[in-house]
Chain A
């Protein structure tokens, strides 16, 4: 096997190189030559090609993502902003929280279990690399139609993978999403979110500071995982036999990740670490170039010291391997023995692979020969930036004009028709109980889970002394985003913000995972640019900064992209988790109120989706109203005025009430406003609404607060466990009575709601 050295590159400047196979455009290749003043070695080519890929360089999205910084609201809660592994938010009392969502879509389509498992593993290491103890995970998922054969293949595997990894790692799963839509057939989305916490003084950054400090690689051994494209380089340098087979799939080892977490937290707390970085996409190439360019600017690496799982790997492959469960730390020489001893305690292999220097270059050596000599910033941060063309699709006008009006789709009118509509929504895979999935996830481990599904947000306690905690929700209705990406992104933000507020937490910060089709399609690029603009404007208006996120492009089959799916995660803080607001109402006599205005809004609704229709405009978004609603929900929780609160979204008021009744097991009597169109009132998906439940003793105080602040509040019902007999059941039967229109039996509804996913996937 011959090694392409820097000397060799200088001696043979014109040797042809397979840059195109590695995904580099001719001008990008030329730029590398210009930067280096010579042709790159094959190892350098490997590094540049992977670091300049869409996935690592954000070359198509960068120009748009800048808005998150440019439009950042005034805030003093952001301790670390966009650009690090994950943003860090101050939640008071010396505590800081970091959270981020990332995609693992394509790998999960190829191998559902391992793709999803390694997706969870990757985001957990991002959180760990900030110095935080990971506390919980969430999993926003999207699938093709629930009854499609491929959904039956991917969904159980993905769910088992999310659970298998998270459960074994000991992180509670506190929420997520499961949405079915035709557009995700062949393009399932697996987004994974992790949240972690640390004391302010424990925040760590990915930078290689301090000349003479050592670069330690620790965790799993390096194998040939995820190096698909780079094998072309290996095959050039290998003898006639060609390279050994390389795996196309990465296998996760959650046990190793658990050891990695414990070992990392111990070395951080012992003060043994100057800088730290996880290894994810682009492996050692990414970690060394980012650490070097964020630090003193120089680093030397002895690549042959890397512990290998597969001894046949070439240096190019080692540089690019995406083997899981690895971390990289910068350690002072005086502390290296203690560092290695703690790794040993946790049975984690560790080896010094490099040293920080002042050369301003990243140099890599392989058995005494120099194979890389580059300015690290050009690899890590100065990749190509594209201004991809975009334009509003011509079909948008027709799509938006095709509203689901009464003329277009017959609407239910009679009590029986309205009841049938409700039962159909309850049994739709998008609204049915997700317990078949979530019961495969441990939500109890660590003993700090205050809320998990089916509550509006996940909530975990961070400080056992004071009860300080955080709530997180992730949301996105891709149908809304298709009808209008700007508004759709804001609606995703609004829903997530509302969900966090409903639990009593004050929204503080935003993360996002932008799942789109191909950026080379100007129409997709338009959807993307509109979604980013909407989200950035929305965050500015709500006063909560974007702290990080992830972009996933190329989610499409042929020319058909997925629904634009900007998943938004909002994090809120609650100073005492003991006063969280759940969705279950309390005893008889408590009053049920709808907050906010209901309009005839069905564009992109679940009702229209059930009718096979997508068109019209999404619901109006009024972020000032969302903010007001949030303040009322938080104040209601703080002052002990609320027993329950639940945000109104998919399936409208009727579905929201059903979910509350199912959670509490107690019936209620509802009435409809005289002037209301029952169908619109029950099923419209207008934004900016929540249902709250108030003890009678608090009614006056609460309604006065709403009136004073100008938030519409309508009394629409009362909790009542004694309606069974009236409805023709025995007296103990719990029912939900919708005026004189219709009545549903709660346990029958529960059986229906819970039977849907088991029937499809059990």
Chain B
């Protein structure tokens, strides 16, 4: 399975996302922000970083990159897309996911090993988890507070679209401890913490993050079987 990893000017975790894809058994394909051609990938990861320096609003400028138009239309057609941190911000800015990510409530950048509970396992990126599974992955952001209006929040919860919630500590003031959400179809997932930094015991706090990347491979297998 070919999984594209997009590099925007200022993307930082693109190599890490590609490494995670490889460790999960997929083929990582580098995508360039300026190309609208998606090189026949089967899924896309929007990695973390500070696209365009995050100077305006995180993800605000990257959203207009040529590659994003192609990703938006393929995502609407069902292609799996995972946005991590800055990638999550870009997905919100692109309106593929509702809400927005705002400045951490304590106003500091924070890097910590974060405990999460996986609440929704029927997305393309969380299939390999058990419902209610607790995991620890790194979190690192300056603008990670998830906000949306009450109605949207209620709807996210009611429809089971919250895929992960913070446990023990809410690190950034996210509404209702939301760490990640998905769209109704389950192919588009946005996640503030960084599963790609928890794929090797040597460099991560755990290897819990790997299941996000194996999930999308499982998704592909299932769809081949079903086809």
Contact of A447 among B10, B50, B197 (CB under 8 A): B197
> For chain B residues 172-227, which have a beta carbon within 8 Å of chain A?
194, 196-197, 200, 202-204
Interface 1/0s, chain A 258-289, versus B by CB < 8 A? 11000000000000000000000000000000
Q: A168-B53, A255-B9 are in contact. Are A447 and B196 (CB under 8 A)?
A: yes
A361 to chain B, nearest CB (A): 40
By beta carbon, the residue of chain B nearest A467 is B202
Contact of B16 among A164, A253, A255, A446 (CB under 8 A): A446
Whether B53 lies near A253 (C-beta < 8 A) is yes
By beta carbon, the residue of chain B nearest A762 is B106
A251 to chain B, nearest CB (A): 12
Contact of A445 among B12, B52, B53, B200 (CB under 8 A): B12
Whether B203 lies near A447 (C-beta < 8 A) is yes
A440 within 8 A of B: yes
By beta carbon, the residue of chain A nearest B51 is A255
CA distance A295 to B111 in the complex (A): 45
CA distance A461 to B201 in the complex (A): 13
A84 within 8 A of B: no
By beta carbon, the residue of chain A nearest B196 is A447
Whether B19 lies near A442 (C-beta < 8 A) is no
Which one of A254, A444, A450 has the highest number of Cβ atoms from chain B below 10 Å of its Cβ? A444
A163 within 8 A of B: yes
A347 within 8 A of B: yes
A469 to chain B, nearest CB (A): 10
Interface 1/0s, chain A 434-447, versus B by CB < 8 A? 00001111111111
Q: Which residues of B contact A254 (CB under 8 A)?
A: 50, 53
A448 within 8 A of B: yes
Q: A255-B10, A449-B203, A450-B202 are in contact. Are A443 and B111 (CB under 8 A)?
A: yes
Whether B15 lies near A442 (C-beta < 8 A) is no
B64 within 8 A of A: no
Q: What are the 4 tightest A-B residue pairs by CB atom distance, in nearest-first order?
A: A255-B53, A170-B12, A447-B16, A444-B197
Determine the interface band of chain A, counting residues with CB < 8 A from chain B: 20 to 34
Whether A442 lies near B140 (C-beta < 8 A) is yes
Q: Which residues of A contact B12 (CB under 8 A)?
A: 169-170, 258, 445-446
By beta carbon, the residue of chain A nearest B137 is A444
Q: Which residues of B contact A256 (CB under 8 A)?
A: 53
By beta carbon, the residue of chain B nearest A447 is B16
Whether A578 lies near B197 (C-beta < 8 A) is no
Interface 1/0s, chain B 39-57, versus A by CB < 8 A? 0000000001110111100
Contact of B55 among A255, A448, A578 (CB under 8 A): A255
CB within 8 Å of A: which residues of B? 9-10, 12-13, 15-16, 19, 48-50, 52-55, 108-112, 138, 140, 142, 194, 196-197, 200, 202-204
> For chain A residues 578-595, which have a beta carbon within 8 Å of chain B?
578
Q: Which residues of A contact B109 (CB under 8 A)?
A: 160, 163-164, 167, 440-442
A542 within 8 A of B: no
Whether A439 lies near B112 (C-beta < 8 A) is yes
CA distance A169 to B9 in the complex (A): 11
CA distance A160 to B106 in the complex (A): 13
Whether A255 lies near B140 (C-beta < 8 A) is no
Whether B138 lies near A444 (C-beta < 8 A) is yes
> For chain A residues 552-587, which have a beta carbon within 8 Å of chain B?
577-578
Whether A441 lies near B202 (C-beta < 8 A) is no
A346 within 8 A of B: yes
Interface 1/0s, chain A 445-476, versus B by CB < 8 A? 11111100000000001001000000000000
CA distance A246 to B16 in the complex (A): 42
> For chain A residues 727-741, which have a beta carbon within 8 Å of chain B?
none
Q: Which residues of A contact B196 (CB under 8 A)?
A: 447
By beta carbon, the residue of chain B nearest A173 is B111
A455 to chain B, nearest CB (A): 13
B120 to chain A, nearest CB (A): 25
Whether A439 lies near B194 (C-beta < 8 A) is no
CA distance A441 to B112 in the complex (A): 9
CA distance A627 to B19 in the complex (A): 38
Q: Which residues of B contact A439 (CB under 8 A)?
A: 108, 110-112
Q: Which residues of A contact B138 (CB under 8 A)?
A: 444
CA distance A169 to B200 in the complex (A): 23
Q: Which residues of A contact B112 (CB under 8 A)?
A: 439
Contact of B111 among A169, A258, A442 (CB under 8 A): A442
A-B contact pairs, 25 of them (CB 8 A): A164-B109, A167-B142, A170-B49, A253-B53, A255-B9, A258-B10, A258-B50, A438-B111, A439-B108, A439-B110, A439-B111, A440-B108, A440-B111, A442-B111, A442-B140, A443-B111, A444-B16, A444-B194, A445-B13, A447-B15, A447-B203, A450-B203, A461-B202, A461-B203, A577-B202
